[in-house]
Chain A
Amino acid sequence: MYALLLPGLAFLLLFKYTPMYGILIAFQDFNIFGGIGGSDWVGLAQFEKLIHSSDFMNVLINTLVISLYKIVILFPIPVLIALLLNEVKRMFFKRTIQTVIYLPHFLSWVIISGSFITILSPAGGLVNEIIRSFGGHPVSFLTDNQFFRSVIVFTAGWKETGWNAIVFIAAIAGIEQEQYEAAAIDGAGRIRQMISITLPGILPTVVLMFILRIGSLLEAGTEQILTMYNPLVYQTGDVIGTYVYRLGLGQQDYSFSTAVGLFNSVVGFVLVLSGNMLSRKFLNRSIW
């Protein structure tokens, strides 16, 4: 048995736990030639720099704002879709819609960004042609700080809304049919049934998914933003993940960006743990 575990264990130690040891460079003035052993220790200096850095504060605010927009606007839609799909009795229509709305989940962010850059282009993009035909002025969505976040939230919704509905569709499938029959005999209409049976039936799943979502509050979509943004919208679009990438690998400021990354990991960890605690307390259900 242990022989079977060897490759998995080697993977775990090398690729998951060794980088955790690498976190030490957040407390150093890391020098790539000296390595961790040969670099000077600076204690919490990197974290003091972080707290006083206006760049970091801006990035933190961007992360929270984008993430909260995504939660408030995008979380309810998959629940609504699942509720409505459940009311559709024509299997062909239901399947077609499901097939179509799941699809974007399987495309990469690069492909999706490429498509939306084309569609939103100020020079001949579909959206701007529509704006123009109504007599408006074309908008450069991806280089304008006023619009960038909306584009990020919309495209994230476009990619994952359908896929996120699956778990609620599965939860609805688990509701006992007798409840509907009993309700129908009591004279409950379909809207009444939806509100009084289906919705309470999936409520635990909804709350659980919500807690999970809060746990990744600091993940505002690094890969998505990396494929869409440019220096003109750093002011509103730069999030923790992209900032760590730019600073660490672009400017080789390894120690400082590791400190930012550590901040991110620790806060994320605390959020997930508190979420799990809440879930255990109120739902009697642990996430793992």
Chain B
Amino acid sequence: MRSKTIGSLCFDAGIYLFLTAMGLITLLPFANVLSKSVSEEWAITSGKVGIFPVGFQLDTMKFVVTSSQFLHSLLISVIVTLVGTLLSLLITAMTAYPLSKRELPGSGILIVMFIFTMMFSGGIIPNYLLIRQLGLINHLGSLILPALINVFNMLVIKSYFESLPESLEESAKLEGARNYTILFRIILPLSAPVLATIGLFYAVSFWNDYFNPMLYINSSNLKPLQLYLQDIVMNADSSSLNRSADDLMNVPAEGVRAATVIASTVPILLVYPFLQKYFIKGVLIGSVKG
């Protein structure tokens, strides 16, 4: 044990103070928005709401979560996230497995071809024109297909596969198992930790995706949650931009905006505590790779 001197105590106090301040800075904005979502309208507009709610009502929240567009967008986001994550994990693992075999002819070139796309891309416009050409504008496929493989995630899974003992596959091969069977029956069940981590990363990026829907979706039928939220956020912002009186009529109140933000955050907050142990492990896997 290190001895406790006065200097050491001051040092500790400083550290705790600094870190607590960091934690509070992170939490305060949430507290403020949460308070606004349940405070009385007059208190919000007169600037009385700080960290704690002033008055209490759930009407705004009820208005937001029962709005048909909100529910519809939520459904779209859930579908895109579920389908996208499962499909991504499957294709990413199927690609990573052959590439983890150095002796496979051509695997070296393919890895370079994948890595090249991490550093160089066609850019927004050629991507947009491609999606258009494929007839994917206003199609949920445009939110899933272009994001199927994230090269960084693929490399993490690949390096995990490389760390598995070779002998497992050899014995399966002797008993006549095909590559397909080896991957799905032996390798994948052994890779649960890395698949959980990468699955989480995929799920978060599908759930939070705002850029692709903004480019490729304009039908309100297919708007995911983030795009719907952006409409609310930007609309409310017009009050500070001197728009016409007509626009101002449609502006959702500050409370509605706060409630929409909170309602869209809740799904992440619900799963966050359960997933925390996985992502720390995942970052370690990714960084140890070196």
Contact = CB atoms under 8 A, between A and B. Distances in A.
Contacts of A85: 19
Contact of A124 (B47, B98, B236, B284): B47
A105 B80 CA distance: 20
Interface in A105-122: 106-111, 113-119, 121-122
B177 interface: no
Q: Which of A8, A22, A265 has the most CB of B within 10 A?
A: A8
Contact of B148 (A11, A124, A128, A245): A11
B122 A19 contact: yes
Contact of A121 (B119, B148, B254): B254
A92 to B, nearest CB: 12
B18 interface: yes
Contact of A119 (B33, B99, B207): B33
Given A7-B95, A118-B254, 13 more contacts: A19-B130, A22-B122, A102-B276, A108-B208, A110-B210, A111-B226, A118-B32, A118-B258, A126-B32, A161-B22, A171-B287, A189-B7, A230-B241
A104 B265 CA distance: 10
A140 B23 contact: no
B217 to A, nearest CB: 13
Contact of B23 (A101, A116, A189): A101
A183 B7 CA distance: 17
Contacts of A115: 29-30, 32-33, 261
How large, as a class, is the contact surface on chain A?
35 or more
Given A101-B26, A142-B240, A226-B211, A265 B120 contact: yes
B127 A119 contact: no
25 contacts: A8-B92, A15-B148, A16-B117, A17-B117, A23-B126, A102-B276, A106-B272, A110-B227, A110-B233, A114-B261, A115-B33, A117-B257, A118-B33, A118-B254, A123-B47, A124-B46, A126-B32, A126-B49, A166-B280, A190-B11, A226-B214, A261-B125, A261-B126, A269-B120, A288-B115
